[in-house]
A and B are shown apart, each in its own frame.
Chain A
Amino acid sequence: MLVTNIEIIPGKRVKEHLGLVQGSSVRAKHLGRDIMAGLKNIFGGELKGYTELLQESREEAMERMIQQAEAVGANAVLNVRFSTSSIAAGAAELFAYGTAVVLE
């Protein structure tokens, strides 16, 4: 499964468009990470726990998008975009979407 954020793959032709596929994941932070983040808020600097958490949930969102693409019989997802939104205090949604296609 090829996943990229460009519309045209150099040297390959799109045989069939299968439409939009998407995946999302909502995660909350656990208490330990919140306490560390609170401390970091005094000193400043990177919140490693949050970076990891968001990275993990982004990977999961992408995984779900790929599953959906596989289900419709695609072999590539083009023009992938990411978006992050905070829904409630302490929870964030990571969203990935793209176009499923069949490449030659």
Chain B
Amino acid sequence: MADLIIFLVLLAMGYGFGRYAEAKHYKSIIQREAEFRDIPVVTSKFPPLTKPLSDVELVTGSVVISVDYFKRFIAGLRNLVGGRVTAYETLLDRARREAILRMQEEARAFGGYIIFNVKLETSSIHKGRKNSIGAVEVLAYGTVLIKQ
């Protein structure tokens, strides 16, 4: 009985705090994306030829984000029937956008104006079997062109 109560409390806390944190995070992501729109992020390998010659520098941005208790439970249920696991989709979306934003922040600190050859790398972080941590790490890295 006590176990069930703890489980329900954790579920409710996960739902409440998790939703709040996600809404807040998305709001901040959208706001900062608008702010950094002047530093384009492109995946092409070579710098655009129209740009003047300039210095280059490696920039990185990384973030580790964890999923909340409620979403992990929902994802576990989804495992039974199969299909899209929307709970984890938003987690990865948030992590990728946040990593790119941090990379852009670093680029701005260098005084750069475009980031190209951007690569994204995702890895999951586990902590054993029993109390596994459903967290992902996303690393974004690229080369920034700096005005001379």
Chain A residues in the interface with B (C-beta under 8 A): 2-11, 34, 37-38, 40-47, 50-51, 54-55, 58, 80-86, 89-90, 92
Q: Are A85 and B133 in contact (CB under 8 A)?
A: no
How many angstroms between the C-alpha atoms of A10 and B17 in the bound complex? 48
Q: Are B127 and A34 in contact (CB under 8 A)?
A: yes
- Provide the main secondary structure of the chain A interface: mixed
Determine, out of B33-41, B61-69, B76-84, the stretch whose residues face the partner at the interface. B61-69
How many angstroms between the C-alpha atoms of A21 and B101 in the bound complex? 29
- Supposing A2-B56, A44-B71 touch, asked if A86 and B123 sit within 8 A by C-beta, the answer is yes
Chain B residues in the interface with A (C-beta under 8 A): 10, 13-14, 17-18, 21-22, 25, 45-47, 53-54, 56-58, 60, 62-69, 71-72, 98, 116-117, 119, 121, 123-128, 131, 133-135, 137, 139, 141-143, 145
16 contacts between A and B (CB under 8 A): A6-B45, A10-B56, A11-B53, A37-B133, A41-B68, A41-B133, A41-B134, A42-B13, A42-B17, A45-B17, A45-B18, A50-B125, A55-B62, A58-B62, A82-B60, A86-B126
**Which partner residue on chain A sits nearest B14 by CB separation?**
A42
How many angstroms between the C-alpha atoms of A15 and B12 in the bound complex? 63
Q: Are B117 and A37 in contact (CB under 8 A)?
A: no
- A13 CB → nearest B CB, Å: 13
**Which partner residue on chain A sits nearest B60 by CB separation?**
A58
Q: Are A6 and B123 in contact (CB under 8 A)?
A: no
- A40 CB → nearest B CB, Å: 5
Contacts of B141 in A (CB 8 A): 5, 80, 82
- A60 CB → nearest B CB, Å: 13
- B63 CB → nearest A CB, Å: 6
- Supposing A55-B62, A80-B58 touch, asked if A7 and B127 sit within 8 A by C-beta, the answer is no
- Supposing A38-B131, A82-B141, A86-B125 touch, asked if A47 and B66 sit within 8 A by C-beta, the answer is yes
Query: Could you say which of A41, A51, A82 has the most chain B C-beta atoms within 10 Å of its C-beta?
Result: A41
Q: A46-B66, A50-B64 are in contact. List 15 more A-B contacts (CB 8 A).
A: A37-B133, A42-B10, A42-B14, A43-B18, A44-B22, A45-B18, A45-B25, A47-B65, A51-B62, A51-B63, A58-B60, A58-B62, A58-B139, A86-B123, A92-B125
How many angstroms between the C-alpha atoms of A11 and B51 in the bound complex? 12
